[in-house]
Chain A
């Protein structure tokens, strides 16, 4: 079973939840951190990394001896990544989506595709938990190719937890779109509710079943709860605010180690989801 943990708003508790769920299951499980711009799960899991693999994308390279500066490559680029002047071709790899159109349409075959490293995938383990994370290189703008590369490591013989990046962009969509179930984490604030509604829209379009965890459930207002009740959305868990949770988090201690009672709660949550959606 693949369970994705997502939230449009940042800082609501995706990492806390993903780590807690993985640790409470304990074995036959893989945790994939696809928040590639800021993967944090390793801080709590403390895995041993055994293998690293570069993630490559294809970007165009121009042979100026063959180029006639006709501008075809620039006009077919949907991402405006190429500008042609009368005597130069300027390629901006950070905007390139590796579609290959420029190479395909170049009338003089002056364009070839070359590999460019945009990040790395790290593979390791902590006891019986398989741990995989992606890291986007600083200065790179596109997390999605790393998210897609990460998903090739999904092991169907195990249960998989995917810690998705915040937001509702391509990287989040690609992180959740093969999941059997998605847990949305939010907080009971106007910002939390606003972004929860956006996340729900995404999941309904993708036809992925989901439920909501309300973190810091005793702060803010009760609008998130009211919204879930009106929309008949299941609230899976409420985690009240606690200074002790925050202190544990700041020391890199997983929630279920600072608060042993949560170990049982997360285990039960997983068993329930497995029975219903696994």
Chain B
């Protein structure tokens, strides 16, 4: 399945971006192929509704789980409507999250 991790850069060595709607990049990692795609967030500078549009973007990318620092209430509503699992409070490097996920250590409370 596809997992979206919000990232401050376009590769796995980057720090996790704690914001969802206005993060720098969405890193979309596929746990079956172990390949990833980095998408520059087009919603960084929108006046309003960044979270809503970012949520729609990851839904369009057929992501099943979002791992980030924090998700706002509007984005959360859209993500839940899209049946995505949301994991917040993530910190550190994107590759650490990928590794932890592989070891079954990523879960939501």
- Give residues in A with beta carbon < 8 Å to B: 71, 74, 79-88, 90, 92, 95
Taking a contact as CB atoms under 8 Å apart, the answer to whether A85 and B78 are in contact is: yes
- Identify which of A74, A80, A82 contacts B48 (C-beta below 8 A): A80
Q: Which 5 A-B pairs have the closest CB atoms?
A: A80-B49, A85-B82, A88-B81, A83-B78, A83-B56
Which of A74, A80, A82, A84 gathers the greatest number of chain B CB atoms within 10 Å?
A: A80
Which B40-64 residues sit within 8 Å CB-CB of chain A?
43, 46-50, 52-53, 55-56, 59
Is B91 part of the binding interface, using a Cβ–Cβ cutoff of 8 Å? no
Which B65-109 residues sit within 8 Å CB-CB of chain A?
74, 77-78, 81-83
- Identify which of A71, A81, A85 contacts B49 (C-beta below 8 A): A81
CA distance A243 to B82 in the complex (A): 59
CA distance A83 to B50 in the complex (A): 11
- Identify which of A71, A81, A87, A88 contacts B52 (C-beta below 8 A): A81
CA distance A82 to B81 in the complex (A): 13
Taking a contact as CB atoms under 8 Å apart, the answer to whether B59 and A79 are in contact is: no
**If the complex has contacts A83-B56, A84-B56, A85-B59, are A95 and B78 also in contact, measured as CB distance less than 8 A?**
no
Taking a contact as CB atoms under 8 Å apart, the answer to whether B46 and A80 are in contact is: yes
Taking a contact as CB atoms under 8 Å apart, the answer to whether B82 and A74 are in contact is: no
Taking a contact as CB atoms under 8 Å apart, the answer to whether B53 and A83 are in contact is: yes
CA distance A56 to B49 in the complex (A): 22
**If the complex has contacts A85-B59, A86-B59, A86-B82, are A80 and B77 also in contact, measured as CB distance less than 8 A?**
no
Query: B60 to nearest A CB, angstroms?
Result: 8
Taking a contact as CB atoms under 8 Å apart, the answer to whether B77 and A90 are in contact is: yes
Which of B43, B49, B53, B83 gathers the greatest number of chain A CB atoms within 10 Å?
A: B49
Taking a contact as CB atoms under 8 Å apart, the answer to whether B49 and A79 are in contact is: yes
Taking a contact as CB atoms under 8 Å apart, the answer to whether B59 and A80 are in contact is: no
Taking a contact as CB atoms under 8 Å apart, the answer to whether A85 and B48 are in contact is: no
Taking a contact as CB atoms under 8 Å apart, the answer to whether A83 and B55 are in contact is: yes
Query: B26 to nearest A CB, angstroms?
Result: 16
* Residues of chain B with a CB closer than 8 A to A92's CB: 49, 52, 74
* Residues of chain A with a CB closer than 8 A to B52's CB: 80-83, 90, 92, 95
Query: A37 to nearest B CB, angstroms?
Result: 17
Chain B, residue nearest A85 (CB): B82
Chain B, residue nearest A88 (CB): B81
CA distance A233 to B35 in the complex (A): 64
**If the complex has contacts A83-B56, A85-B59, are A90 and B81 also in contact, measured as CB distance less than 8 A?**
yes
Could you list 9 examples of A-B contacts with CB < 8 Å? A71-B56, A79-B47, A80-B48, A80-B53, A83-B53, A85-B56, A87-B81, A88-B82, A90-B81
CA distance A82 to B50 in the complex (A): 11
Taking a contact as CB atoms under 8 Å apart, the answer to whether A95 and B55 are in contact is: no
Query: B51 to nearest A CB, angstroms?
Result: 9
Taking a contact as CB atoms under 8 Å apart, the answer to whether A95 and B82 are in contact is: no
CA distance A96 to B102 in the complex (A): 42
CA distance A87 to B78 in the complex (A): 11
A86-B59, A90-B52, A92-B52 known; 18 new pairs, CB 8 Å cut-off, are A74-B53, A79-B47, A80-B43, A80-B46, A80-B48, A80-B52, A80-B53, A81-B48, A81-B49, A83-B52, A83-B78, A83-B81, A85-B59, A86-B82, A88-B81, A90-B78, A92-B74, A95-B49
CA distance A44 to B76 in the complex (A): 44
Chain B, residue nearest A77 (CB): B49
CA distance A83 to B76 in the complex (A): 12
